[in-house]
Amino acid sequence: MTILIKNILLDDKQVDIYIRQNRFEKIGTNLNEQADVLIDGQDKAILPSFINSHTHAAMTLLRGYADDLELHTWLTKYIWPFEQNLTQEDVYLGTKLACLEMIKSGTTFFSDMYWYMPGTLQAVEDMGLRAALSSVFIDFNDPKKAKKFRKRTREFFAEHTDTERIIFTLGPHAIYTVSKESLIWLKEFAQEKNLLIHIHIAETKKEVDDCLNEHGLTPVRYLEKIGFLGPNIISCHNIWVDEEEMDILAKHEVKIVHNPVSNMKLCSGIFPYAKLKERDLCIGLGTDGCASNNNLDMLEEMKVATLLAKISSNDPTNFTAKEAFDCATINGAKIFGLDIGEIAPGKLADCILVDLNHPQLVPNHNLISNMVYAASGECVHTTICNGQILMHDRQVPGEKELIAEVKDRISKKLRK
């Protein structure tokens, strides 16, 4: 497929952009290449699409189900019991709904951690997005469960390899749900297979206190002691970390994902952005799942991230709009080793076109500031992933039917 976008604003210049197959091929003025699709870019701007570096996509099915609770109560008494009744078809529909929401708000890549891989995988394939999908591992320090999950992990990676749009990662949930022996096994398995590991670390004070009581160490020190940390670790949350732990994370080149809305809603704590940035850690941005956010809008996530950093540090220069935008785009690309996150010849064609006539983007003194501080998902006019148009003029094929199907499915499930 070829796409020619005419008269689009890119970095304050009016240009034409030619996409061939799945990459940007040419950027210039007065391009006359023949194309399968011609898009009029007048009064629009092109930007990299967003990278949601940590979420639980199918939790769209739990949106609003158990709000205003402390994390561990929320998780053990409400979320996990509800999830036990989910089927592969439920997860498939929930993930499709998540993909729809992300497409509508300009996200084309997400890193997912969830229980039911086949349903998630099929949904991503069908909706046309990119994703890093975790083979989730939780053994609750039970040797029998550990054996079962190790077997399942081996089998999964024997049967699956990365595709054009999907990469597979390991997903140990956290230190309080995965045994030391299994964490070491997962680290070794990841080294053998050259895999990324996606994990929650130091999300709550309770996690830290429990780790101190059990191991005599805080979570980051504990993980370093058992040899778990390394450049392939994607560490989500990282709220309850001290200066020495930040140095440890930097020493091992751990990748960091900030989830401000979820952290604030569950009162998990405040992410130490400025101190982690000082150590040159690569910081991405994620929404977490819809049970704790309650949406997947990376535009909202960027705004909340900057405002939280500013008010908590009493410094309005902390976490600028440009830094937040980078966290949601190019930094995410670096975390997952993806050739996306910027608009340039040769890069994979993942992008959004935003409507410069939308009231939230008028006037356009600074587009990045507008996107972070003013815009909502409604400003996204067109979403393109891997050179394919997933949404144009805010229309996604099949969205009404999908929404109706999800509503019907949840209504029936709650009546059981």
Model pLDDT for residues 344-393, shown as the tens digit of each residue: 999 999 999 999 999 999 999 999 999 999 999 999 999 999 999 999 99
Cα distances from 252 to residues 256, 284, 326, in angstroms, run: 12, 17, 22
Tokens of 66: 């158990």
Q: What is the pLDDT of residue 416?
A: 59
Could you report the per-residue pLDDT of 2-51, keeping only the tens digit for each? 999 999 999 999 999 999 999 999 999 999 999 999 999 999 999 999 99
Helix 117-127 vs helix 88-104: crossing angle, to nearest 10: 40
Give residue 414's pLDDT band: very low, low, confident or very high (50, 70, 90).
Answer: low
The H or E element containing residue 390 is strand 388-391
Q: Answer yes or no: are the C-beta atoms of 261 and 301 closer than 8 Å.
A: yes
* CATH superfamily to which 2-48+342-399 belongs: Urease, subunit C, domain 1 (2.30.40.10)
**1 three-class SS:** coil
The pLDDT of 171-179, averaged and rounded, is 97
Residue 199's contacts (CB-CB under 8 Å, 6 or more residues apart) are: 171, 172, 173, 174, 233, 234, 235, 236
Cα distances from 379 to residues 11, 63, 326, in angstroms, run: 18, 23, 19
SS3 for 332-353 is HHHHHCCCCCCCCCCCECCEEE
The H or E element containing residue 179 is none
Measured CA to CA, the distance from residue 59 to residue 134 in angstroms comes to: 15
Q: Answer yes or no: are the C-beta atoms of 119 and 344 closer than 8 Å.
A: no
Q: What is the pLDDT of residue 116?
A: 74
DSSP structure class, residue 112: E
Q: Give me the chain's average pLDDT, please.
A: 96
| Percent residues over pLDDT 90 in the chain | 93
Neighbour tally for 38: CB within 10 Å: 11
The H or E element containing residue 391 is strand 388-391
Q: What is the pLDDT of residue 203?
A: 97
Burial of 185-219, coded b for 16+ CB within 10 Å and e otherwise, reads bbbebbeeeebbbbbbbbbbeebbeebeeebeebb
Can you give the residue ranges of every domain in the chain?
2-48+342-399, 50-336
Q: Answer yes or no: are the C-beta atoms of 182 and 188 closer than 8 Å.
A: no
Q: What is the pLDDT of residue 313?
A: 97
Q: Is the pLDDT of residue 129 over 70?
A: yes
Least confident of 55-59, 225-229, 264-268, 411-415: 411-415
- Going by C-alpha positions, the residue among 157, 183, 162 that lies closest to residue 172 is 183
Cα distances from 260 to residues 139, 303, 304, in angstroms, run: 28, 10, 7
Q: Is the pLDDT of residue 83 over 90?
A: no
Count how many Cα atoms sit within 13 Å of the Cα of residue 204 in the half-sphere of its side chain.
Answer: 16
Residue 186's contacts (CB-CB under 8 Å, 6 or more residues apart) are: 137, 153, 170, 172, 178, 197
Q: Is the pLDDT of residue 415 over 90?
A: no
The H or E element containing residue 412 is helix 399-415
Q: Answer yes or no: are the C-beta atoms of 63 and 406 closer than 8 Å.
A: no
**15 three-class SS:** strand
Neighbour tally for 5: CB within 10 Å: 26
DSSP-derived pairing of the beta strands 23-28 and 233-237 = unpaired
The pLDDT of 307-322, averaged and rounded, is 98
Burial of 395-410, coded b for 16+ CB within 10 Å and e otherwise, reads ebeebeebeeebeebb
Q: Which CATH architecture has domain 50-336?
A: Alpha-Beta Barrel (3.20)
Tokens of 191: 């080294």
